[in-house]
Amino acid sequence: MSQELLVASALSVRFGGVRALDGLDIRVHEGEVLGVIGPNGSGKTTFFNAVTGFVTTAGGSVTLGGETITGLVPREIARRGIARTFQRLRLLLELSVFDNLMLGQHLSLDHGIVANLLLRGRLRASMTSHIESARHLLSYFSATLPGKLFEPVSALTMIDRRRVEVCRALIREPRLLLLDEPSAGMTPEETAELMRDLQKVKAERSRLAVILIEHDMDVIESVSDRCAVFDYGRKLCEGSYAEVSSDPAVRRAYLGVDDE
């Protein structure tokens, strides 16, 4: 059995009187893809926000590789190797694809005054290698995207933007990748393609763990090793796709099917 990477236990988040997360327990192992499904408002995105430090937790804990990360600010959590995408894309639209990817690389870049302002030759050399690796990563997702490295993101199609956002999260080789509904705004074919491309990257990074929030059950079925179903801020059930999709409670809450 591979190592446990992320352990969230009894995690709670409150917004005023609303319990957005209500004692949630989630475990993710290295190299695993965990699919998270659940109705709107069931706490899926709040779970991501709690793990990445964007909301303060009201109770419980999160550990990453054994180290407690509860209560840390987002940038400290990023430093420990968690990267995420956002449900509504949050790219820097007026900047180039390269600039956006380099934001993902922020913690690995040298921000010294001398390195940036005076040693321009060395900066240029390091930039060239970053351009190379950015093109390489993009080439997993699209044949044309590497050629658009210096185009503003605002000039890209929806699917290309989504790809850039996924690449921005992948570029610093995180230990855990959180994908918040990557299919939003895309056709099922485009989503399937994105997931296939992501699998190609994952195939080369055996320890990379992914948590995927998704409404599209086909996507969940095809890529996730395990599924967790959220409802009212709790985990309704957990298991393989087959187990979960046949669970009567899930069918009632999520799939909207009455069992007789």
Which spans of this chain sit near another protein (rule: CB under 8 A)?
52, 54, 73-75, 78-79, 83-84, 86, 90-96, 98-99, 102-107, 109-111, 113, 116-117, 120, 123-124, 127, 131, 135, 138-139, 143-150, 152, 168, 172
Closer Cβ to another protein, 106 or 200, answer by number:
106
| Closest distance of CB 1 from another protein, Å | 30
| Closest distance of CB 116 from another protein, Å | 4
Type of residue at 193: E
Number of residues assigned to the chain: 260
Closer Cβ to another protein, 1 or 143, answer by number:
143
Residue 244's H or E segment, with its range, is helix 241-246
Show the CA angle centred on residue 155, arms to residues 154 and 159, nearest 5°: 85
Could you list the beta-strand ranges (E) of the chain. Answer: 4-15, 18-29, 33-37, 59-64, 67-68, 82-84, 176-180, 209-213, 226-231, 234-239
Angstrom distance (rounded) from CA 72 to CA 168: 22
Closer Cβ to another protein, 105 or 199, answer by number:
105
Q: Considering just the CA atoms, what is the radius of gyration of the chain in Å? A: 19
| Closest distance of CB 10 from another protein, Å | 24
| Closest distance of CB 199 from another protein, Å | 20
Closer Cβ to another protein, 177 or 227, answer by number:
177
Strand partners, 33: 210
Closer Cβ to another protein, 147 or 188, answer by number:
147
| Closest distance of CB 169 from another protein, Å | 8
Q: How many CA atoms lie within 13 A of 177 on its CB side?
A: 29
Burial 118-128 (b: 16+ CB within 10 A, else e): eeeeeeeeeee
| Closest distance of CB 30 from another protein, Å | 21
Closer Cβ to another protein, 120 or 255, answer by number:
120
Q: Are strands 59-64 and 226-231 parallel, antiparallel or unpaired?
A: unpaired
142 closest CA partner among 126, 170, 123, 161 = 161
